[in-house]
Amino acid sequence: MTLIDGKALSATIKEEIAAEVEKIKASGNKVPHLAAVLVGEDPASAVYVRNKVRSCEKVGFKSTLLKRPADITEEEVLELVHKLNDDDDIDGFIVQLPLPKHINEERITLAIDPRKDVDGFHPVNVGRMALGLPCYLPATPFGILTMLERYGIETSGKHAVVIGRSNIVGTPMSILLSRKSKTGNCTVTLTHSRTKDLPAFAREADIIIAAIGIPEFVKGDMVKEGAVVIDVGINRVEAPDRPRGYKLVGDVAFDEVAPKCSFITPVPGGVGPMTVTSLLLNTLKANRNEVYR
């Protein structure tokens, strides 16, 4: 069994990005600039955004954090999005989700210029992804593809079972793995909460992508010997013996599943660190106008 070290891989890729930034500086071109909009006080969102901004600093990008109170109006967020769309110094930006209930996330996402949508959430980018056209890939699926590629995991002809059909992970992952591409050519089964006998599908999988948001959902008896298991879950479960009173567990019962796997990602330290790296790679692409020429 090989543990896929997302933390180490992410650090390696950040070094590669930092080297690219040095080249950009040396050639006198504009340094990549990412802006992040954080609305309200959601503690998890604050941690994620802080992480993104810090990562920018680490690789030499410019970053701008725009914090706004939870009672900001939808119109004010739209105005901010338009301002960022028009700001030539900003290569790409994200609006951290979830937004407060009174703000329509769909309306905000649609207002983002697809050329600056480094989250890859705008329907234009989602559509381009589905058609295999140049686009910004959503961070989590992009990070998973990068892990598969860098660990030399063959995907062609393999049966991939994706568990969970969210717009930002399960659905794009199922499309990307099935495409005729380097880390594609899988036969994909997309399973979800209404799937009948989900364990039977999981047991047939060469590759499992667990993204259902249920702690330790994938048990040892749901996994074939030699399978590759990618755990996207980040679930807080109570742990009175831990300093914070909780611990993070994935969507996979790691201790039962790991001994059966050829490759598996841990939680934490697996998929999580790769998502920020993906965002940085998308921002670098935006800076170079690689997607929309």
Q: Which residues bind ligand GUN (CB under 6 A)?
A: 94-97, 119, 139
Pairing of strands 62-68, 92-95: unpaired
91, 117, 119, 251: the active-site residue:
119
Nearest approach, Cβ of residue 94 and ligand GUN (Å): 4
Nearest approach, Cβ of residue 68 and ligand GUN (Å): 14
Q: If residue 65 lies in a helix (H) or strand (E), which one and from where to where?
A: strand 62-68
Nearest approach, Cβ of residue 67 and ligand GUN (Å): 14
14, 52, 62, 285: the active-site residue:
52
Q: Is 206 a catalytic residue?
A: no
Q: Report phi then psi at 168, rounded to 5.
A: -100, -15
Q: Is 83 a catalytic residue?
A: no
Nearest approach, Cβ of residue 117 and ligand GUN (Å): 10
Q: Is 197 a catalytic residue?
A: no
Nearest approach, Cβ of residue 97 and ligand GUN (Å): 4
Q: Report phi then psi at 209, rounded to 5.
A: -110, 110
Q: Are 1 and 263 in contact (CB under 8 A)?
A: yes
Distance CA 147, CA 230 (A): 9
With tokens 């769309």, the residue in question is 85
Q: Are 283 and 61 in contact (CB under 8 A)?
A: yes
Residue closer to ligand GUN (CB basis): 97 or 130 = 97
* DSSP states along 87-106: -TT--EEEE-SPPPTTS-HH
Distance CA 76, CA 27 (A): 38
Residue nearest to ligand GUN (CB): 97
Q: Are 194 and 228 in contact (CB under 8 A)?
A: no
Q: Is the peptide bond before 100 cis (omega within 30 degrees of 0)?
A: no
Structure token digits, residue 45:
């969102």
62, 96, 206, 285: the active-site residue:
96
Which positions are annotated as active-site residues?
A: 52, 96, 119
